Amino acid sequence: MKKVRQPAVAGLFYPSDADQLRAMVQGFLQDADTSEPLPKAIIAPHAGYVYSGPVAASAYALLRPGRDTFRRVILIGPSHRVGFHGIAVSRADIYATPLGNVPIDYGAIEKILDLPFIKSFDEAHLLEHSLEVHLPFLQTVLDRFELVPLVVGSVAASEVGTVLERLWSDAETLTVISSDLSHYHDYATAKRMDQATSLAIERLRPEDIGHDSACGSMAINGLLHFARQTGLKARTLDLRNSGDTAGSKDRVVGYGSYAFH
């Protein structure tokens, strides 16, 4: 019997009803600009869809031309509930959402298991939303694909970069980095901080991005470290915060989407 990682935040961060969820995601995608070329990697936020869904869609809309291209998705997000050192892989066979099941690519995972900072740690995946909220978008814009879900604890940017180096093998592989930006500042402060973070991402400067800049800073910095080595270029697609989408401007959370070519 296959081991299934069940949805943890369906009905909270996004609708648990498949038809409502599908309609919401498609609505976000229809409103997004699609003028950018197909990216090789994206950074997108992971908050509740009413807050960050439109921003995430600005990245996911670009993937629709790659519907039949991408067969593997490396999905890397931060741990919000469990503290640990290293990067956690899951022993599940499937990640489930209301839109269906996504199989895990164990062949890819086996390529990184020998790294000393990689650990099998299902507890890091069980309730973590930073990966889960991306799956309905991926299930909507891509056809058949397998998932490499990685939850990041305390690691160096170079270690995340090593994982990408091993798995970034072909045109069928897409990398998705999950991160929100600044948390719980007033609107003006958040805008200033998030603009600085976006500039650092575009300039591939992981040294300028700390945990106060983005909850997924370790994953972002790993991608920036790898991008600097391989000649990838980054572009900001959308930059807003919860005060722009569905919240007050007193204490906001920042959201940005970025494409890497």
pTM more than 0.85: yes
Say yes or no to pLDDT of 34 above 80: no
**E-only strand ranges, 153-251:** 173-178, 183-185, 234-241
CA–CA separation, 57 vs 63, rounded Å?
Answer: 10
2-25 pLDDT, tens digit per residue, is 999 999 999 999 999 999 999 999
Whether residue 159 contacts residue 225, with contact meaning beta carbons closer than 8 Å, is answered with no
Token pair for 173: 């592989």
Architecture of domain 20-172+184-260: 3-Layer(aba) Sandwich (3.40)
* Mean pLDDT rounded to a whole number for the chain: 96
Digit-coded pLDDT (tens) for 157-195: 999 999 999 999 788 999 999 999 999 999 999 999 999
For residue 170, the model assigns a pLDDT of: 85
pLDDT of residue 1: 83
Give the domain ranges of the chain. 20-172+184-260
pLDDT reported for residue 33: 81
N-term to C-term CA, the chain:
40
User: Which residues, 6 or more positions from 25, have their beta carbon under 8 angstroms from its beta carbon?
Assistant: 49, 53, 57, 136, 137, 140
pLDDT band, very low/low/confident/very high, at 247 (cuts 50, 70, 90): confident
Confidence band for 36, pLDDT divided at 50, 70 and 90:
confident
Give the tens place of pLDDT for each residue, 40-97: 999 999 999 999 999 999 999 999 999 999 999 999 999 999 999 999 999 999 999 9
Instruction: Tell the residue number behind the tokens 């009905």, with chain if given.
Output: 11
pLDDT tens digit sequence for 96-131: 999 999 999 999 999 999 999 999 999 999 999 999
Per-residue model confidence as pLDDT tens digits over 129-152: 999 999 999 999 999 999 999 999
